[in-house]
Amino acid sequence: MGMLEDIARFLEEGDEDNVSASTQAALKLGLAPKEILERGLIAGMNVVGERFREREIFLPDVLMAAKAMTAGLEHLTPLLAEGGVVAKGKVVIGTVSGDLHDIGKNLVAIMLKGAGFEVVDLGKDISPQAFVDAAVKEKAGFIGMSALLTTTMPVMKDVVALARKNELLRKVKIVIGGAPVSEEYAREIGADLYAFDAASAVDRVRAAADR
Amino acid sequence: MRKILRFRGADIRPEREAVLKRQGVPKSAASKYEALLSEALDLLTEVSVPVAVVREISSEEFAQVFQGEQRNDSPNPLEAVFPRASTLALFGATLGPAVCAKIAALFDAGDYASWYMLDAAASLGAEALAKLLQAGFRSRCAAEGRLAAGEAALCYSPGYCGWHISGQTRLFSALGLVEIGMTLRPSFLMEPLKSVSGVIVCGESGVHVFDDVFEFCAECRHHTCRERIAGVGREHGNA
């Protein structure tokens, strides 16, 4: 079995030590960082995502794999940046102001990273202006917002309105999710995408990025 | 009468199966996560400092609290339930800030599986704390001869089943929850996050029965009211 397949397999097993060691070994052998990322780490995460969707494995397995991916990325990220390799897309993500529930947002961030996206996690309790400023500064392709309360959900509308007014964010896609949020609400406030859960957030962002 | 009640971390330790179920893990796969689960439950027991305020309240006074900022959905189940209660008590309870800090630290350290396991355990721990208060209040009423046979206790909380979350303001004020370190943000979010609040309603078990046919039920993802109501029935051998 090849080294890249080993990395993918170790990642699927959530074996962070071996992912780290194999990634270093692959670099020493002269494999390109981009190849290790795509055919090793992301390939492994794709299998994890697929098995999760098929209910062959469960959330703790996905999270262990994500940690293993981080271990591999630590070696690759500086080299990818040096080589000018770009991520599949950049997502600025956060929980809207007034809301401190970040579980869903964190899951989405973890899974997006696993799918090869660059994620700028603004954290929780984020104001509309902070979302927009960060999206401009980071030249983000996506703004991701989460809210768990009906009282904080309207902040999403403010973010959408503010982003739509900004000429620099003409192409940005806005994705929203959270317990009280619905597809209908996303349409109502002018968001581009609605995600029912973390896995569907990744699917929808990936599909939009590929378009 | 208002009482401050303190508990041990072990008192709110949730069932292992429930913590896994919360994460979508079926019983058949549970053994794979034993170590992770044990670690999270031990941590929860160690860092939680469960504390609560409980205050018995008249139906008239509760009507004022329940009214909140006049933003409840109408009709809603609780407006039909509480006037038929024999006794009512407001409660606010928290696992304390340390467990929330630990959860955040695990995420920041990239220990994602441990982070999510502890978060799930702590959410269930907060629910377990509410159930302890509910059982304790019921026992006290029964011991004082204020609860007839067949009467059951059940908690209801702002933010659920048509009781608008803005109801937290009056509830917090009526309980003086600052004394146990609980505060409310302008969005009515409780801090520390792993906290619960609401009203314990004691009454005939049938008082708690309602169908999930309210307008807001269509938007509800979980319909946990079904399990709660079934639980009341089981308690009295009606299920």
The reply to whether residue A151 touches residue B166, judged by beta carbons under 8 angstroms, is yes
Residue A53 scores a pLDDT above 80? yes
User: Residue A9 carries which side chain, given as an amino acid letter?
Assistant: R
Give me the phi and psi of A149, to 5 degrees please. -115, 145
Counting every residue, how long is chain A?
A: 211
Interface of A with B (CB under 8 A): 14, 58-60, 63-64, 66-67, 70, 98-101, 103, 106-107, 110, 149-152, 179-180, 182
Per the CATH hierarchy, to which homologous superfamily does domain A3-82 belong?
Methionine synthase domain (1.10.1240.10)
pLDDT at A1 over 60: no
CA atoms within 13 A on the CB side of B137: 33
Going by their DSSP bridges, the two strands A193-195 and B2-6 should be labelled as unpaired
Q: Is B165 close to A63, i.e. CB distance below 8 A? A: no
CA angle A31, A35, A37 (to 5 degrees): 115
- What percentage of chain A's residues is helix, strand, coil (to nearest 5)? 60, 15, 25
Percent of chain B with pLDDT over 70: 97
- Give the distance from residue B60's alpha carbon to the nearest chain A alpha carbon, in angstroms: 27
Question: In the predicted model, what is the mean pLDDT of residues B6-17?
Answer: 97
Query: What's the ipTM?
Result: 0.87
Q: Per-domain residue ranges for chain A?
A: 3-82, 90-210
**Distance between CA A104 and CA A94 in Å, rounded?**
10
Query: Residue B237 pLDDT > 60, yes or no?
Result: no
At B32 the pLDDT is: 93
Binning pLDDT at 50, 70 and 90, where does residue B87 land? very high
pLDDT at B235: 65
Best mutation site among A101, A103, A185 for testing chain B: the one with the most B CBs within 10 Å? A103
Strands B190-191 and A118-126 come out as: unpaired
Q: Which residues in chain A are contacts of B191 at CB distance < 8 A?
A: 100
Nearest CA-CA partner of A60 in B17, B100, B44, B33: B33
User: Is B164:B68 a contact under the CB 8 Å cutoff?
Assistant: yes
Cα–Cα distance measured from residue A140 to residue A30, given in angstroms and rounded to the nearest whole number: 32
Residue B236 is predicted with a pLDDT of: 60
Q: How confident is the model at residue B238 (pLDDT cuts 50, 70, 90)?
A: very low
Question: How far apart are alpha carbons B96 and B103 in whole angstroms?
Answer: 12
Interface contact flag, B110 A67, Cβ < 8 Å: yes
Across the interface, do A103 and B119 touch by the CB < 8 Å criterion? yes
Question: What tens digit of pLDDT does each residue of A164-203 get?
Answer: 999 999 999 999 999 889 999 999 999 999 999 998 999 9
Are A60 and B111 in contact (CB < 8 Å)?
A: no
pLDDT single digits (tens) A121-137: 999 999 999 999 999 99
Residue A195: its pLDDT value, please?
95
Residues 6+ apart with CB under 8 A from A21: none
Who among B24, B119, B165 is closest to A151 (CB)?
B165
pLDDT at B239 over 60: no
CATH architecture of A90-210: 3-Layer(aba) Sandwich (3.40)
Mark yes or no for CB contact A152/B186 under 8 Å: no
Judged by average pLDDT, the poorest of A129-138, B56-65, B140-149 is: B140-149
More confident residue, A114 or B93: B93
pLDDT tens digits for range A70-102: 999 999 999 998 888 878 899 999 999 988 889
What the block records as the tokens of A133 is 């400023």
What is the pLDDT of chain B when averaged over all its residues? 93
Instruction: Identify the closest residue of chain B to A151 by CA–CA distance.
Output: B187
| pLDDT band with cut points at 50, 70 and 90 for residue B191 | very high
Phi and psi at residue A124, in whole multiples of 5°?
-120, 165
DSSP class of residue A40?
I
Q: In the prediction, which pLDDT does B196 show?
A: 98
